[in-house]
Amino acid sequence: MKILLLTALLLNLCFGSVVDDYLNSLKQEVLKENPNFTSFDASRGEKIFTSNHIGKKGKEISCTSCHGTDLNKSSENFFTGKVIEPLSPKANPKRFTDLAEIEKWIKRNFNDVYNREGTALEKGDVITYIINK
């Protein structure tokens, strides 16, 4: 039991640092453009995550098209039907533990849905939404 708790604590610490560092670097970027900026906002992030747009392939999709609306459950890729493990780090401790992986997919997935890269503000808001789900 002690070992389990300790492992959970360690995982938490690791997860906390990668995503916190990333959010912090995004925040520095936003501050360059807007010195009055205070913090990322999960409700703006929810809109980014759930609203529909004509994506890269000319189809109307949202982030939920592939990741579902319950981020604690697995879902299916809209285009390939492949299973995608839950996006919430609460249900899937592997999430948000690898900076390169986060950046690669955020860039690719914004392009899928918005047909452009996300801004630092959008990325910070949507990640804040996801990690609090």
Residues in contact with ligand HEC by CB under 6 A are: 49, 61, 63, 65-67, 77-79, 84-85, 95-96, 101-102, 105-106, 109-110, 112-113, 126
> Among 13, 29, 14, which residue's Cα sits nearest to residue 125?
29
Residue by residue, DSSP assigns 98-126 as -HHHHHHHHHHHHHHHHSSPPPHHHHHHH
- Minimum distance, C-beta of residue 110 to ligand HEC, in the bound complex (Å): 5
Nearer of residues 113 and 120 to ligand HEC, judged by Cβ: 113
- 6 versus 107: smaller Cβ distance to ligand HEC: 107
Task: Report the C-alpha gap between 89 and 79 in whole angstroms.
Answer: 24
Please identify, using beta-carbon distances, which residue of 15 and 37 lies nearer to ligand HEC: 15
Question: CA separation (Å) from 124 to 83, 94, 128?
Answer: 26, 19, 6
Nearer to ligand HEC, 37 or 102 (CB): 102
User: In angstroms, what is the minimal distance from the CB of 78 to ligand HEC?
Assistant: 5
CA angle 47–19–83, rounded 5-degree value: 65
Least Å distance between CB 36 and ligand HEC?
25
